[in-house]
Structure 1
């Protein structure tokens, strides 16, 4: 039987970033490692598309399919290299605990996935030089990466919220100034008569 309190407690735990034994910071690190691994695999996969292009001497003959495939490969490789740089910067921002860097990574992931959808739907037509199995593999990889990003963005967003709360508290001088207890005066040994 479905218990509503149990569901709400699990959702609260999910949105707090404490899932699978990982807190928000650890989950963000693993999310960065995941994206680094996926980006390297994507580079290898996209570089393999060049074997389907016709030789360079016939490339200027106005073959639209080859030019679309060439633009797809080059654009995808450029965005994947930028994503590797973004992941390396994410690790730096996690180490330095910079809110805007982690929030910028979230923005970059959304832009990256939107660009990959546009590349797949516009620049890689069905009748391109790629076999249909490679095209299906491209779409399958995009779908699986999007589903994985939904899971990992829970951690990254929770960590960005934590960093935002910390940075907001340190920016406000009235909150950072702690009240110290009064200093206690201790008598010297001579004054105590010992």
Structure 2
């Protein structure tokens, strides 16, 4: 259940993040930003292409979230592990974009963007626990050949006790004589 909620949360949070960032990263005026001293080529790339990077990463995250939901349904542990790796990459990239474009935001917008990133990353970390646990369960069941394990109770008493016959068997034998 937690794994399914992880996929649904990821879809919702990514969509909300995309809506918020569209308004604040969509200006794309790179000529002014490059004139700022201390920006290297990588920083310039992230600043100029920030919304396109966020859009591309968000679309892939939405596809990965749908694949997560399918992987839970189809019991594919590789899908759950690839989702885990993707979410870590997604949040790291968003952190880089956030850090590099931070100085070009108004203080209130900057605070809201940081709050949004911290909340989303924290919840992704929380839900990843369930995804990884589900992946382990699926992996263990595939390793055992999809046979459910049966744990017999071991009696604490000493000695072997003969098995009792079922009352139904006794009842059928009684009337068949």
Contact 1:39/1:80, CA 8 A, preserved across alignment: yes
Q: Which runs of 5+ in 1 are unaligned?
A: 1-25, 177-192
Q: How much has 1:125 moved relative to structure 2?
A: 4.1
Deviations 1:124-167 (A, max 9, x none): 141x2x32211221111111112212221121111011011012
Matched residues in 2 for 1:91 and 1:53: separation?
35
Output the TM-score relative to the length of structure 2: 0.70
Q: How much has 1:29 moved relative to structure 2?
A: 0.2
Matched residues in 2 for 1:75 and 1:125: separation?
15
1:106 paired residue number = 84
User: What RMSD in Å do the two structures reach over aligned CA positions?
Assistant: 2.5
Contact 1:29/1:91, CA 8 A, preserved across alignment: yes
1:163 and 2:143 aligned: no
Residue among 28, 34, 39 paired with 2:3: 28
**Would you say how many aligned residue pairs link Structure 1 and Structure 2?**
141
Q: How much has 1:49 moved relative to structure 2?
A: 2.2
Output the TM-score relative to the length of structure 1: 0.65
Contact 2:25/2:50, CA 8 A, preserved across alignment: no
2:169 paired residue number = none
Q: Which runs of 5+ in 2 are unaligned?
A: 36-43, 149-175
Q: How much has 1:70 moved relative to structure 2?
A: 3.6
Matched residues in 1 for 2:118 and 2:139: separation?
31
2:33 paired residue number = 64
Following superposition of structure 1 onto structure 2, how do residues 65-144 of structure 1 map, counting pairs within 5 Å?
69-122=47-100, 124-126=101-103, 128=104, 130-144=105-119
Q: How much has 1:52 moved relative to structure 2?
A: 4.2
- Where 1:137 maps in the other structure, the secondary structure is helix
Deviations 1:39-74 (A, max 9, x none): 1101111211256455xxxx6xx3225965441111
Larger radius of gyration: 2
Matched residues in 1 for 2:107 and 2:84: separation?
32
Contact 2:22/2:51, CA 8 A, preserved across alignment: yes
